[in-house]
Chains A and B, each alone.
Chain A
Amino acid sequence: ELKVEQNPLFLSMQEGKNYTIYCNYSTTSDRLYWYRQDPGKSLESLFVLLSNGAVKQEGRLMASLDTKARLSTLHITAAVHDLSATYFCAGQRSNYQLIWGAGTKLIIKP
């Protein structure tokens, strides 16, 4: 059964710093998804990682996937306040089901 674990669950950091959020999953997951959620808002898709070694970048965020290690990372470069949000990863258990991590609440202080 696919299980997805994120760490850390909470992260407070200063603007300008770099940091990484980790997403481990327990069994095979063909794809890995990253989402962002602002407080009281809906979820927004950030990245879809389709294969081993996949790397995607959007602005200060970069996501990667290592299917052999069952690990995906979301790296934040030179953080800015606007990136404060909760970030979720999700693995794909079948054609129709996503299994979600608990989320990482990221607070970036000026």
Chain B
Amino acid sequence: NAGVTQTPKFQVLKTGQSMTLQCAQDMNHEYMSWYRQDPGMGLRLIHYSVGAGITDQGEVPNGYNVSRSTTEDFPLRLLSAAPSQTSVYFCASSYSKGRIEAFFGQGTRLTVV
């Protein structure tokens, strides 16, 4: 099993550009989520999904969209990149609701200039 795979690992965007961060898991987990990690702030939840076709907002959803067409894939779209979105992004998946011990991808370091 590959676990949780994120691509790309690094990305530089210009302000106003859009892009999609890819996330795929091969563990048949129902629950997937996207976090951003900023220095001194821990992780903040952007969006999450409890199954194919079901998504919901987390703490900091503005400027991001998600979709979940399959159990395996959960892409994160930046609609119009802003410097405030410079961060490290992590995708995670978990077995089920209730106990959401998360398995994390390797992260995407995004810089918006």
Task: Report A's interface with B, CB cutoff 8 A.
Answer: 4, 9, 31, 33, 41-45, 48, 50, 88, 90, 92, 95-98, 100-103
13 contacts between A and B (CB under 8 A): A41-B106, A42-B107, A44-B104, A88-B43, A92-B100, A96-B31, A96-B48, A96-B100, A97-B48, A98-B102, A100-B42, A100-B43, A102-B41
CB contact between A88 and one of B40, B42, B101 (< 8 Å): that residue: B42
Q: How many A-B residue pairs have CB under 8 A?
A: 54
- Chain A residues within 8 Å of B98, by CB: 95
Q: Chain B interface secondary structure, helix, strand, loop or mixed?
A: loop
Q: For B31, give the chain A residue with the smallest CB separation.
A: A96
Residues of B within 8 A of A (CB): 31, 33, 40-45, 48, 50, 56, 58, 90, 97-107
Q: Knowing A9-B40, A45-B103 touch, does A98 contact B45 (C-beta < 8 A)?
A: yes
The answer to whether A100 touches B44 (Cβ under 8 A) is yes
Contact call B105/A42, Cβ cutoff below 8 A: yes
Q: Which of A4, A48, A97 contacts B99 (CB under 8 A)?
A: A48
Given contacts A43-B90, A95-B97, A96-B97, contact A102 B107 (CB under 8 A): no
